Amino acid sequence: MENIKFAWWPIRVTSGKRIWLRSYIQHRSLYDESTGRPPLNSLHFEWTETEQEKTWRLLKESVVQNRNVWNEHLLTHEDISNLYEK
């Protein structure tokens, strides 16, 4: 779950930056996305990030997800030979 909040007082986001008089995003997750396990000490994981950090994170995730598609050949030699046999 994402909540967009405004920092009226200085706060420290998860990356360690202090922000003030800016909007930030507070995330709550019921499980760890990398392992799929629930948290041990509370009901949810919580982290905060600025809008620029969120944009950067989403760009990095999209590159990782698309990396295999970019490296794969669309047609193999077998596919091409099967096209010409018909």
Q: What does the pLDDT profile of the chain (86 residues) look like in tens digits?
A: 899 999 999 999 999 999 999 999 999 998 887 788 888 888 888 999 999 999 998 888 776 655 554 455 555 666 666 666 65
Predicted local distance difference test score (pLDDT) of residue 74: 58
Number of domains in the chain: 1
Predicted local distance difference test score (pLDDT) of residue 23: 96
Tell me, what amino acid is at 44?
Answer: H
35-73 burial string, b = 16+ CB within 10 Å, else e? eeeeeeeeeeeeebbbeebeeeeeeeeeeeeeeeeeeee
Domain with 42 in it: 2-85
pTM of this structure? 0.66
Asked if residue 37 lies in contact with residue 53, where contact means CB atoms within 8 angstroms, the answer is no
Closest Cα to residue 25, out of 13, 39, 8? 13
Secondary structure (3-state) at 22: coil
